[in-house]
Structures are given as C-alpha cells and as structure tokens.
A and B are shown apart, each in its own frame.
Chain A
Amino acid sequence: MLVYAFDRTFDGLLSAVFDAYSLRQHPDMLMGEGEPLPLFCEEVHEVTTADDRAARVWAGLEKRLSKQALRMLMVSYLSELPELDTPLFQYIYKVFQQPEGRTSLERNFSDADVLAVTNIGRKVIHEQHRMLQFLRFQKAKDGTYLGVVSPDHNVLPLTVAHFKDRFRDQPWLIYDAKRRYGFYYDCQEVIRITFQHEESLPFDLDSGQLNDEVISKDDKLFQDMWRTYFKAICIRERMNPRKQLSDMPRRYWKYMTEKQ
C-alpha cells in the first residue's frame, strides 16, 4: 500500500495530486502528517506543499469541472473531516484521467469517491445554513453587533456574504469560538480577525455574552422580549421536543438567546 502524507491544507492536497502525476504513482491513501500509519503501509511519500503546483492543478480542474463541482470541492474541504482526504484526493486524481472535454465524472454518483465528497459537501452546506438560522447578535454600546458560534465544520467563511448583504448598515463581528477567529464588518468591508490576548475579549467565550461594561443599555430588554415571544408562540397541546431537537440540535443552543 502506498500512502501520501500531507499537511492537510487544500494546497497540500492539490500538491499531492501534482506529485502523483509527476511521479507516475497512484497512492491508495492520503493522510495527515504525523498520523499513525495503517498496518499494511509499504511506502510513504511526504508531500511538499507548493503554491505554484497547487495553482496548476486547480487551473486544470477549472477546465474540467463545472462551477458547482468546483465549489463542492472547496466546500467539502471546509468540513475538516479526516475521512474526506482520501476520497477528495481520488476524485481530483480521476478528473485528470478522464478524456479531454468530458466533464461527466462530477455527476456520476455511483462513483464512491464522488458520492463521498458530495455527501460531505452537503453536510457542510447544511451547517452553513444553520449558522444563518441560529446565530444571534447582541448589540454593544458602540453599535457593533456581536454573534458567537462554534460550528462542527469551518463554515464561517461561507456565511460572510449573507450577513454582509443583509446587515449592510450595521457593523458586526461574527466569531468562531472553537477555531478562535472571526470576521469583522465596519459597514465598508469585511476583514478576518483573531484576538491576540484572550483576556481582552469583550465577551465570554462559553456563553457568547457581551461583558456588562460593553453591552448596550436596551439589549437585555430585547433578549427578554425574544425569550418571552419564544415561549408564547408555542402551542402546549402540540409539544414535540423530538422534532425541536432534530431541527435545532442541542449543540447549537449554547449561544442562542432563547435557550439561555
């Protein structure tokens, strides 16, 4: 068995495809550097991530795949799931095996690798949608709206366009508490941010709540109002906690105003 080890970046994965073709090899498996090797591993090749090689592979993909399929590759990568590495690699590898001018592989869902990548991509898109549903903002004194989330997959980048379009006249900060980074919008543009000193965060990482000194005066009232509404709108004769949980899994409740 031939294994390629890579740094688990997207460019690293594309570089692995480059290596496979230039070395005329077809690895059976792709895995992160430093991970324990499988039992029957005979040979390991260490992939060196190289931007220019990755770019060449990507350019090749752009010629052979539709826009939607390309997006699906990117999106599936944001899953951060280790079980994606090998199918994503194999999918891309196979794209270059197709005869020129045929773009059919991407729609062949009876191919196990295409199906695996598509299914994982769908999961990511599903969670991206959940961020649009469940993210809650609080208003700070200076007028900035803060929303904290901790998604399973790295979906925050996929939500930026939506929030920018919708809340274009209010400054906001959306923050991924699990991956410790966020996006800040100042009514002009969006920038990616990290905080150097966690003690200086203006909010609590566990509850997502803004600190008392910075929260705006009436925010607590609107939070209470929302909780009041949430309770009032429920029809008690129809209680259905199971449906509630399946549509709004408990792991998202932590930062949701109505569940705090």
Chain B
Amino acid sequence: MLTEKTMEKLRILAESAKYDVSCSSSGTVRGGKQGMVGNTVGGVGICHSFADDGRCISLLKVMLTNYCMYDCAYCVNRRSNDIPRATLAVHELVEIVMEFYRRNYIEGLFLSSGVVRNPDYTMERLVAIARDLRTVHRFNGYIHLKSIPGASGELMSEAGRYADRMSVNIEIPKEESLKLLAPEKDHQSVFQPMQFVQQRVLENQEDRKRLRRVPRFVPAGQSTQMIVGATADTDRDILHMSSVMYSQPTIRRVYYSGYVSVNTYDPRLPVLKQPPLVRENRLYQADWLMRFYQFSVEEIVDEANANLDLEVDPKLAWALRHPEQFPVDINRDDYEKILRVPGIGVKSAVLIVNSRRFNRITSYHLKKMGVVMKKAKYFITCHELTDGYANPIVGINELHPERLKPLLVSKAQQKKAADELQLNLNFEEEPC
C-alpha cells in the first residue's frame, strides 16, 4: 500500500529526470498477450498528455535515485548540488507503473538513475525493476532503460531482454568540451555500452532468423541525447555526431535538449536566461531532413554556415542557398525533388505524385492538398501564367534569394531569432 511519502519521492525523482528529453514510446509493435497486461502500438507511440511546457508525456519518466557519485557540470543531480534526494524502492515504483498503466496515464516506464556505489550496483537495481514488471506483473507495455556506462555485460544482457529501448546520452558532441564539463567522463564511456547493445541486437536478429522463438532483444533500438548550448560546439558539430549515430543500425533517435541553466554558479557554464529553444527546434528540423528528406549533413550545415539560420527553417535555408535547383515542375519532377520544395511536406508530396497521373496539378489542387503556397509558390512551376490571384508568377530566380528571404520571415520569427542570438552573445563573452 503506497502513501503520501511515495508521492513525495515521485515528485523529487520526476523533477530530477525531466531534463532528459527523450520520451517516446516508439519503435515496437507488440500485440497484447493472454495473461499479460499491455501492448505497444509502434509508429510514433502514444502521447498521453502534454505538460504545461508543451512536451509530450508518454512514459513515466523517473529516476530510481537522484543520488549520484559523479559531478557533471550540466546536471541538476551532480553530487555537489544541494537538492532534495530520494530513492524509490523496487516495489514502490513497480506498483506506480502498473497502477498508472491500468488507468491509461502512460505507455510504460522510462527509467534512469544516478550512479550510486558503482555501475553494476546501479544497473542491477534498474534491471530488478524491469524484471519484476515483466515476470511478476506480466507487464507487456513499453520499457526504456538507461545503460549505465561500466556495467557488466551480464547485467546489460539481462536488461536488454526486458527493455524495448535502451539509451545512453552523448550529451556533449565534442570530446574536449565534454572533458571540460565532466572530467570523469569521455566519449568512449558512452560508445562502449552503445556498441555492446548494438552487437547483441544484431546477433539477436540473426538468431531470430533461424529460430523464431528466440525472445527479442531491445526491439525498439537505442536513442541518445545531446545538450544544446551548454558549450561552444556548433550545430555542425552536433549534426555530424547525429549523422554518425544514424549510420549505426540500432540508433533510432537522437534528441536535442536546449540547455536549461540549472547550475548557474559554475563558471564553466553559460548563464542563459532562457534555454535556446529556437536553436533546439532548428536542430530537430535538420534531424528530420536527414531522416526523412534524404538530406546529408553537409547540405544542411557546412564550413561557411556552421550554425543553422535561426530565422528560417533549414529546408528553406537550403533552398535559398540553391536557387539553381528551382523552379521544380510539380507535374514532371521526381518525388525527391518535390520533397525539397519549401512548403511541401511528405504527405502532400505523396498526394501530388499519386494524383498527377490523372490530372494536371494546378495551384488550386496544391492548396487543397495542404501545400503551404505562401512559401512554395516561389519555388515551383505548374505551368500557369498567374498564381491564382491574377498576379504573375515570380520565383526565387527572378526575385533573388536576398530579396525573397524577408518576404518569408515574419516579424515575430525575426524577433524570436534576434532575442535568442542575444542570449548566445552573452554566452560567448563567458569564460569557457
């Protein structure tokens, strides 16, 4: 029987876990089973709620304990911080998960932990929770476990039998920046558990080809996170790391977490009044382009443009840098080219190539199919003389990118970008 005391622990440990942004319950489709509770729906998963900060709540995201023996500068839970500390007992957390799940509050559990005593001790406790949920409570919902760097192969293997997804955060894209903020860590300590899980997932896939009854190992793959704006690393540094990650067969998602100034007293860190949310959003858009729009990193950020333009999204920014690629002919050009038009998303691009076999597509159709014509009209042709409002069609090549850009950026966007740039300027004056 749980009490108010457990509730207070839950509060403390949720507060400690909230800066890890990964929340999704994606990647596994597993139907319900006789005698078990729960299923997983695959696709993008289900968000059960949205917090007041607008972020999706899908899994119960919580730490088993927020005591930690490390002192990473960017983390609220670092040992030198004076914050309320708590530890949930295995039975407490298991009961909360089951009761929340049965009420349709959550898709499952996302469990992480501070490191106490040693990596094995910590990992063993995480595994105990997952083991209890799966074997005693017959829980068939989603489980995401953190890999604790340095934990034994045996524990990691057991974790992977229960978990849908495992993750370990890179946090800082450049090794020297990481060393500065977390001297006890290095990239190797992150890559090692990642590699281990990857190896086991690939072996498991082979085994399952021969023998269907072999249970799955981390079927939803791995994810990782990078903090944005805690160091001077550029978007190019970040996205190159992402691209390396996506070249790994088991890394499904890279998350970006705008740095929230939690430890303002530490001179190694910038003091930000606001987390860099515009930049974070642009990084997600760039990530999206790499995963679904067949863009390479160097097309998005290069030496001359090492940081993303905060005023316009990276797809539009690319288009403005490449007027020679336009106009795209809606009725003739390939799907891949149509997908690169600002204002046309995957959904409308599919509608276009499906429908143009029957009719010639006009701007009237495009609008109906959800194309953002305000943007797209400068980059396409459907062989019409006017744009539907009896204005002659003027494209990117007639206007030139530098005159077109201001037409596509609202005052509000400009201001937001300028405000955030201001924050970054403050940051660059910081000693670091």
A residues bordering B, Cβ < 8 Å? 104, 107-112, 115, 129, 132-139, 145, 147, 162, 164-170, 218, 221-222, 224-226, 228-244, 247-248, 256-258
Q: How far, in angstroms, from A234 to B15 measured CA to CA in the complex?
A: 8
Indicate which residue in B1, B48, B359 contacts A134 across the interface (CB closer than 8 Å).
B48
Q: Verify A104–B358 contact, CB threshold 8 A.
A: yes
Q: How far, in angstroms, from A238 to B228 measured CA to CA in the complex?
A: 14
Q: Verify A136–B103 contact, CB threshold 8 A.
A: yes
* Minimum CB–CB distance for A236 against chain B, Å: 7
**Of B30-38, B149-157, B244-252, B407-415, the one touching chain A:** B30-38
Q: What are the residues of chain B within 8 A of A233 when measuring CB–CB?
A: 14-15, 17-18, 51, 55, 57, 61
* Minimum CB–CB distance for A128 against chain B, Å: 12
Counting CB contacts under 8 A, is B333 at the interface?
no
Count contacts between A and B, CB distance < 8 Å.
Answer: 161
Q: What are the residues of chain A within 8 A of B260 when measuring CB–CB?
A: 235, 237-238
Q: Verify B32–A168 contact, CB threshold 8 A.
A: yes
Indicate which residue in B14, B35, B104, B354 contacts A107 across the interface (CB closer than 8 Å).
B354
Counting CB contacts under 8 A, is B304 at the interface?
no
Q: Verify B2–A221 contact, CB threshold 8 A.
A: yes
Number of interface residues of B (CB under 8 A): 60
Q: How far, in angstroms, from A242 to B412 measured CA to CA in the complex?
A: 15
* Minimum CB–CB distance for B42 against chain A, Å: 12
Counting CB contacts under 8 A, is B96 at the interface?
yes
Q: How far, in angstroms, from A248 to B58 measured CA to CA in the complex?
A: 13
Q: What are the residues of chain A within 8 A of B39 when measuring CB–CB?
A: 165-166
Q: Verify B53–A115 contact, CB threshold 8 A.
A: no
Q: Verify A170–B61 contact, CB threshold 8 A.
A: no
With A145-B102, A233-B57 known as contacts, the answer to whether A243 contacts B50 (CB < 8 A) is yes
B residues bordering A, Cβ < 8 Å? 1-3, 6-7, 10-12, 14-15, 17-19, 31-32, 34-39, 41, 46-57, 60-62, 96, 99-100, 102-105, 258, 260-261, 274-275, 277, 351, 354-356, 358-359, 361, 365, 368-369
Q: List 23 A-B contacts (CB under 8 A).
A: A108-B354, A108-B355, A109-B351, A165-B32, A166-B32, A166-B39, A168-B36, A222-B103, A225-B100, A226-B103, A229-B14, A232-B11, A232-B14, A233-B61, A237-B274, A238-B53, A238-B277, A239-B53, A240-B54, A241-B52, A244-B54, A247-B56, A257-B103
Give me 8 other A-B pairs in contact (C-beta within 8 A), A233-B15, A237-B260 excluded. A110-B355, A137-B103, A145-B102, A164-B32, A225-B96, A226-B100, A238-B275, A247-B56
Q: Verify A238–B54 contact, CB threshold 8 A.
A: yes
